[in-house]
Amino acid sequence: MELELPHEILSIITSREKPDLKSLKEYITRGHEWLLGRHRSGSSGFETVNGHTLLIDRLLQRLFLDAKNEAVARYSANEERCSIVAIGGYGRGELNPYSDIDVLFLYPSNMNSYLKSLTEGILYHLWDLGLTVGFSTRNTADCVKIARSDLTARTALMDTRLIAGDEALYVEMEEVILKDVIGKGVDGFIRDKVKEFDSRHAKYGSSVYILEPNIKEGEGGLRDIHTALWVSKARFKAGTFRQLMKKGVITPKELRFFERSTEFLFRVRNELHYLSGRKNDQMMFDYQEKIAAFMGFRDIGPHLAVEGFMRGYYIYARNISQFSSMLIKRASAGPGIGGRLLHKMIQRDIGDGFKVFHNSITVTSPSLFEKTPFLLMKAFELPETCPPIKRLHRGAYQEEPPSCGRSIQALK
């Protein structure tokens, strides 16, 4: 069932002809309070980001209606089609409590007095409400031009949603961007995103084991997931993990890993925003203990709750880092390759229940170590004896923790 705002909150901006600034502020305040209450009562991280997205969607839809009516009344002779398009994180439907709201005002040709009135009528209200808004006003040709010349803009235009206005205008822009910009330069786009991926990791420490990690930009953070999805959308024409699973690019088990890890980071980031009262992605020591308590971690003897929480964070961050890298490699393998065909082309059997996959060693059966524990030691020797293999894939020894545990016991 899709989340919807309570009637008593939504009616603040829908039950009157044109809500004034006081009513708009009341709507935002009560909406935030409702979502905070749900968050603290245990709602999922996905529900909270979807809820904040919905809160802004309904606000913009109301503001668009009022601004359009006023623009028509003043400049009816210049009336033109226009759309409000969510881009970036807002376009993905992933607004954390104090995330920036990035929107595109899309029109078919040139800016005129009608479009200027419409755009300003919306933006002035958003600024008066104290919201952090990033905006641009462009026609489709402008979007194509900037997408071809600027990697950040090109990436942002891959994550879009129509919020209000002319649907045909939006669909035209989306199709042109995906077909003529992304579709004609897939290999170059992926190379650029991989370079950006590596540079970002270097900037934030090149490790998930940072004492005060940045949970968005650091290694194993949300941006790793976004990068994996961007290159997958370019290569496989699938913009969500579930679509990738349906196309055979990832397995159901990998989907569960992605979803659980993303859910954990969303809940942590939501709580960090609420504790900070602002947009904040740096998990400083002062916040770690409070987030640990919120996430349900408790002191057990000499073991502190915050230590347990950070161990959990590092596990999820490592999962995200490794699986995002894996997905990026699959997207880099070649056009239109998915599912079983992809696996056959980039893996080879090396005997004793092991196989090479993307220059990493993994197992042919998840029960290998349970049946033959001594092979666990061989698994760690193989990267040194079989160049150009670089590492032992995490899935070879951690996808089935109970079996792995029994194997280790048998070796003692």
**pLDDT band at residue 338 under the 50/70/90 scheme:** very low
pLDDT at 134: 95
φ, ψ of residue 58 in degrees (nearest 5) = -65, -35
- 292 CB-near residues (< 8 Å, 6+ apart): 305, 306, 308, 309, 310
| Structural class in CATH, domain 188-337 | mainly alpha
pLDDT at 337: 43
% pLDDT > 90, the chain: 64
**pLDDT band at residue 2 under the 50/70/90 scheme:** confident
- Which whole number is the average pLDDT over 19-41? 96
pLDDT at 16: 78
Is pLDDT at 216 greater than 50 in this prediction? yes
- What are the DSSP E strand ranges found in 121-190? 133-139, 160-165
Is pLDDT at 44 greater than 80 in this prediction? yes
Which stretch of DSSP H or E encloses residue 408?
A: helix 401-411
> What residues does CATH 1.20.120.330 cover in the chain?
188-337
**pLDDT band at residue 193 under the 50/70/90 scheme:** very high
pLDDT at 334: 61
The b/e string for 166-189 (b: 16+ C-beta within 10 A; e otherwise) is beebbeebbebbbeebbeeebeeb
Cα dihedral sign for 105, 140, 194, 335? Answer: positive
Q: Of residues 181 and 163, which shows the higher confidence score? A: 163
Superfamily designation of domain 7-182 = Beta Polymerase, domain 2 (3.30.460.10)
Is pLDDT at 403 greater than 50 in this prediction? no
Distance CA 340, CA 250 (A): 10
